[in-house]
A and B are shown apart, each in its own frame.
Chain A
Amino acid sequence: MSEPRPLIAVVVFPGSNDDRDAQQALERLGADAVRVWHDEPALPAGTAAVVLPGGFSYGDYLRCGAIARFSPVMRAVTEFAEDGGLVLGICNGFQILTEAGLLPGALRPNASLAFVCRDVALRVERADTPFTSRCHADQELTIAVKHGEGCWFADADLLAELEADGRLLLRYAEAENPNGAVGDVAGVLNAAGNVFGLMPHPEHAVDPLLGSTDGALILGSLVDAARLSIAVAV
Chain B
Amino acid sequence: MRATVVVRPKDGILDPQGQAVESSLRHLGFAVDSARVGRVVELDLDTEDAGDARAQLERMCEQLLANPLIESYEIALQADA
Contacts and interface: CB of A to CB of B under 8 A. Distances in A.
Contacts of A110: 16
Interface string B43-65: 00000000000000000000011
Nearest to B12: A155
A153 B70 contact: yes
Contacts of B31: none
Given A62-B64, A66-B64, A108 B70 contact: yes
Contact of A99 (B13, B20, B65, B67): B67
A63 to B, nearest CB: 6
Interface string A107-148: 011111100000000000000000000000000000000000
Contacts of B20: 113
Q: Is the interface of A mostly helix, strand, loop or mixed?
A: loop
Interface string B1-43: 0000000010001101100100000000000000000000000
B16 A106 contact: no
A151 interface: yes
Contacts of A183: none
B67 A106 contact: yes
Interface residues of B, number: 11
A97 to B, nearest CB: 13
Nearest to B63: A70
B13 A153 contact: yes
Q: Which of B17, B20, B64 has the most CB of A within 10 A?
A: B64
Nearest to A112: B16
Contacts of A113: 16-17, 20
A105 B16 CA distance: 18
Contacts of A180: 14, 16
B69 A109 contact: no
B17 A109 contact: yes
Given A62-B64, A66-B64, A153 B16 contact: no
Given A62-B64, A66-B64, A111 B14 contact: yes
A111 B70 contact: no
Contacts of B65: 62
12 contacts: A66-B64, A99-B67, A106-B67, A106-B69, A106-B70, A108-B9, A108-B70, A109-B16, A111-B14, A113-B17, A153-B69, A153-B70
Interface of B: 9, 13-14, 16-17, 20, 64-65, 67, 69-70
User: What are the nearest 8 A-B pairs in CB distance?
Assistant: A113-B16, A106-B70, A106-B69, A111-B16, A106-B67, A109-B16, A153-B70, A113-B20
